Structure 1
């Protein structure tokens, strides 16, 4: 039986390609059908139709509001018979909203696995994503073979909501690292240090990180086509601050990167890759 997939943005499309490379049959649903017709895949007319024809359905959407829409819309997921069906949600969800997603799917007799992914387009194409999952252990074990087709490192945090919180914490590192790398790059250029040489030195020195490794060539080429957008990291850091506020936990290093990515979005660069924050410093 085909795997269902909802959400064919940059990352979702890369994951679908990986599943196809793994010889999986994939059927898709996308809000705008014309945007995915070129993929040559079987396209469902609604989320309900997709769930009815696929036992396992992945979702990879921008935010919780989009997930809720897929659930609640006319002919949405919740209008289908969900008994025996499993939803694997790769979306970076709000830590509170995701609890309602577990509840709604389970109430209808389905299985829901909260599975935010760490990584962008290149690791998705290689099956090298990191995935953190929360939900029933039986659902996790059921879904693990599918997750292993797209992920290299897979972690299970049983309590519902914890995977979503972990993803936000990870993205604090991601956003902070990117802002610092971008500022170092611009400062080095101002010191008349060749950018390629500068990034090479940082890559074996204090700047050594997966973030720098992944963004070095994009910074050299000033290629800001999106693997992970400014809008996405801005949204995640905002949600992280919501989490910290709810815990009465001050955050010190999250505020400035969040506002820098917010400025990029305000300047109309929200859909550029988040390494384009470099332009603010340059």
Structure 2
């Protein structure tokens, strides 16, 4: 899902605020305050592909998109545009004077940057140009107006759910009591070295103080809203001395050790993760669904590794329930908002494991799990007699058994506990947890599992949970592909897809998957609750498992090929429901 975040330089962008009671801004607010003469003479519009220059970084390819509802336009007379940076999840207000049209300046500016992320960004914008041209051709062939950009050309692919957008509400926030049964993990980039940062090659990234390498991360001046009341910022902690020992510690929330004098404190957590978490919590509050009751938090110290979209909700729910939590993330700046919420932060994975009784991890895939376990300053460096490690990622059986043996060889305890559910149930604390391994450890995790999920199953021997999760994901992927085929056939036959969806939702096949993904197809919006590339990966792992037991899977084999085709079409980072698009082109 996500690349490491790039810092938004305060010199070139103004403070972003999350309003508590201000009315939603109109999508066209970027132009609302522009004087008429200046507006008529403007050189940039929504959907324009541009080079955006950030201080101390090369111009980066981006697109001018609609600002998010709860991100205010910065004060000042200079015209600014809300820009999505290709190849990242980053967004920022950028002054028009720092923007240049992409095509007109491509020859010179494309040579100004270097690195894998810059190359990825160039590839992504070129792919967007091809899609724009294809979209215009389709509109012309259908005799539609081509003067206005399509919706996908004016919004960021990470545009969060909006209260003013019925389609987004339907996709993300409906069916609160029934989590959509698809799955997502915390993506990790740069897995070769566990505790080393990637080279800074994206806009807004800057070297971390005291580090030999720079780490790109998002720094957006967004006060964190309380889960109980949207728009109310967390209390800022008082500055304190940082402990010299490499053990978990409370950090000053103001970032005084790195911020320049007179600068305001900045939020370092992924804006997308934070925004989604607050949106879901606010929605639950509006429906009268308050925090879970009767959860008595364990007295054991809890560690949590991986703060992506899934990990954000899971870790925050542990903190809200009153657990003593220490966090670690590859991009360490993401931890700061968790510290403000009451958690501690560890310098390395080994520090976290050695200081906590039970450590949970939620990362993207098998490679990421092996990196945090076997890498330098990893889990094995911190594990000791009695310490426990619980991996909640979806991985292959070989990785699970290998990690279990390594942990147990150091007198540690291990439990695998992959989850059923995507972003929404992770934020709400309504995941389904499938565990296997140490039964005593499973029982000790009861309060944690209650905080993160609505039901936990124990499947005895290590490896069984991974097998069960792959079977479930295989079924989900096959159902999703068959449903997408039905929607495509209905449309091609002149039938109403909306009516088809209504009929299915009233019949025996009705379920949150059909309802939620159907609305995504109707809206032609595919925000990644569970990225398509992960669905294809899980199908591949399920097929490999079938080979080991000599079980034919003809349907799933065909479905896997269709997902591979969709991934090759550039749909891998979109939601799994985007499989529909591969069936209509």
Note if contact 2:313-2:429 (Cα within 8 Å) is conserved in structure 1.
no
Q: Structure 2 CA distance, aligned partners of 1:134 and 1:157?
A: 5
Residue equivalent to 2:322: 23
Q: Structure 2 CA distance, aligned partners of 1:216 and 1:22?
A: 34
Q: Structure 1 CA distance, aligned partners of 2:509 and 2:583?
A: 17
Residue equivalent to 1:67: 369
Q: Structure 1 CA distance, aligned partners of 2:357 and 2:491?
A: 53
> Pick from 49, 54, 66: which aligns with 2:356?
54
> Pick from 17, 22, 39: which aligns with 2:337?
39
Over 3 Å counting, the alpha-carbon distance change for 1:249 and 1:81 in structure 2 is closer
Q: Structure 2 CA distance, aligned partners of 1:270 and 1:170?
A: 20
Query: 2:456 aligned with 1:154, yes or no?
Result: yes
Residue equivalent to 2:309: 10
Note if contact 1:181-1:207 (Cα within 8 Å) is conserved in structure 2.
no
After superposition, the CA RMSD in angstroms is: 1.9
Over 3 Å counting, the alpha-carbon distance change for 1:266 and 1:213 in structure 2 is same
Q: Structure 2 CA distance, aligned partners of 1:2 and 1:224?
A: 38
Higher CA-based Rg: 2
Residue equivalent to 2:477: 175
Query: 2:497 aligned with 1:190, yes or no?
Result: no
Q: Structure 2 CA distance, aligned partners of 1:134 and 1:11?
A: 21
Q: Structure 2 CA distance, aligned partners of 1:244 and 1:117?
A: 21
Could you say what secondary structure the match of 1:4 adopts? Answer: strand
TM-score w.r.t. structure 1 length?
A: 0.92
Could you say what secondary structure the match of 1:132 adopts? Answer: strand
Q: Structure 2 CA distance, aligned partners of 1:128 and 1:21?
A: 14
Structure 2 gaps, min length 5: 1-299
Over 3 Å counting, the alpha-carbon distance change for 1:185 and 1:99 in structure 2 is same
Residue equivalent to 1:114: 416
Q: How is 1:102-251 mapped onto 2 (pairs within 5 angstroms)? A: 102-205=404-507, 207-251=509-553
1:18-59 Cα distance to aligned partner (Å, 9 max, x none) = 32333334332222224x256343432211111123222111
Over 3 Å counting, the alpha-carbon distance change for 1:160 and 1:231 in structure 2 is same
1:146-203 Cα distance to aligned partner (Å, 9 max, x none) = 1121121221110111111011111111001110111112222223333333212121
1:92-112 Cα distance to aligned partner (Å, 9 max, x none) = 121122111111111112111
Over 3 Å counting, the alpha-carbon distance change for 1:122 and 1:70 in structure 2 is same
Q: Structure 1 CA distance, aligned partners of 2:497 and 2:317?
A: 33
More helix, by proportion: 1
Q: Would you identify which runs of 4 or more consecutive aligned residues in structure 1 move more than 4 Å?
A: none
TM-score w.r.t. structure 2 length?
A: 0.46
The number of equivalent residue pairs is: 281
